[in-house]
Structure 1
Amino acid sequence: MDLRDELPVDHRLAQVYRIGAGLCGAALLVFGCLGLADGLAFFSTNGEQVAGLSSNGLLSLVSIVFAVVLIAGAVIGGNTASTVNIAVGTLFVLSGFVNLAVLDSGANYLAFRMPNVIFSFVTGFVIATFGMYGRVSGKLPHDNPYWRSRHPQAARPGGPGRTAIGGRAT
């Protein structure tokens, strides 16, 4: 069984996933490139200011890697972009917690400061929300492609639980 069997293909929500991945990927790419262009020390735990956040060479490189992953998801589009957004968003939120724990220690290899932690949380939730939009909810409308793919019998006209009046279950 393929884990993606239940996912619909070619639906209009794919544009939301692509736009979210593309915009967030572009922002991370700019941040990473600015950090590398400044010639920051690669493993400095103090970091230097780049676009209002603390950064070092390693964080700049990690930002570029995640930017490439998000942009690749945007180029591929569809459910792949949604899944990439959810995964990267989750990693950003987890990164916020991990870096919050090592904030004032020698293990702060990405030179995080509190604004970086807040940025990681906010960006993670934004990226994950773009990925989950229209896909994850307990009350998806019956015309949603994910609801229809999860309920193929009820989605057909005249299927179980459907009426001829209004097309909704009674």
Structure 2
Amino acid sequence: MKLQDSLPVDHRLGQVYRYSAGTIGLFLVVFGIFGFTNHVGFFSTHGDKVAGMSSNGLLSLLSVLFGVLLMAGAVRGGNDASTLNICVGVLFILSGFVNLGLLDGKHNFLAFHMQNVLFSFVVGVLLMMFGMYGRVTTHLPYDNPYWKERHPKAAKRQHVDLPTSALPQG
């Protein structure tokens, strides 16, 4: 049994996962395309300025690939988009830490500068926050599908206690 098989589906939360993945993915694709138009070397360690950040061919390619991946997650939606947001967010944060250590070095193959590191941290935290939205907290509401999945007996009792107008339709 896969983890995704046991997760509930909630369309209201799915919109948050979908729109956040799509928006950030679109921004990454646009950033990558602008990086390609500057014709900077693929492994240039100095890069060229694009949207206030440094970029080279490799960073542009990675930006487009991750942007397309996030937009594909947005199309798929639901729990898949949520999990993808969390995973890509973790990768962005790890990338920020790794590239922070490589700044101004000869192994800075992504041409990162401090703006890129900060951007990587901010996008990573945003993706993780949007991916975990409504899934991870100690105070989920009783009608949240993740709370119901974790507390099936209590969810049945709550279901009985709710007025009929609050019960799911269909």
Deviation at 1:34, TM superposition (A): 0.3
Match of 2:152?
A: 152
**Which residue of structure 2 lines up, in the alignment, with residue 108 of structure 1?**
108
**1:158 and 1:26 mapped to 2: Cα distance?**
41
Q: Report whether the alignment pairs 1:29 with 2:29.
A: yes
Which residue number in structure 2 is paired with residue 58 of structure 1? 58
Deviation of the 1:157 alpha carbon: 3.6
Are the equivalent residues in 1 in contact too, given 2:54–2:116 (CA < 8 A)?
Answer: yes
Aligned pair 1:78/2:87, yes or no? no
* CA distance 1:31–1:43, change in 2 (3 Å): same
Q: Corresponding residue for 1:95? A: 95
Q: Give the structure 1 partner of residue 38 of structure 2.
A: 38
Q: Which residue identity does 1:94 align to in structure 2?
A: L
Deviation at 1:105, TM superposition (A): 0.7
- 1:165–1:70 Cα change, 3 Å: closer
Counterpart for residue 133 of structure 1: 133
Matched pairs, number? 163
Query: What is the CA–CA distance in structure 1 between the aligned matches of 2:28 and 2:53, rounded to whole Å?
Result: 12
Aligned-pair identity in percent equals: 60
Question: 1:158 Cα shift?
Answer: 6.2
Contact in 1 for aligned 2:92/2:121 (Cα 8 Å): yes
| Structure 2 gaps, min length 5 | 164-170
What residue identity is the alignment partner of 1:16? Answer: V
Tell me by how many angstroms 1:129 deviates: 0.8
| 1:9 match | 9
Normalised to the residue count of structure 2, the TM-score between the two structures is 0.91
Gaps of 5+ in 1: none
Shift of 1:165: 8.3
Q: Distance in 2 between matches of 1:77 and 1:97?
A: 29
Residue 168 of structure 2 is matched in structure 1 by none
Tell me the distance in 2 between the aligned counterparts of 1:165 and 1:92: 42
Structure 1 stretches of 4+ with a deviation exceeding 3 A read none
CA distance in 1, matches of 2:116, 2:90: 16
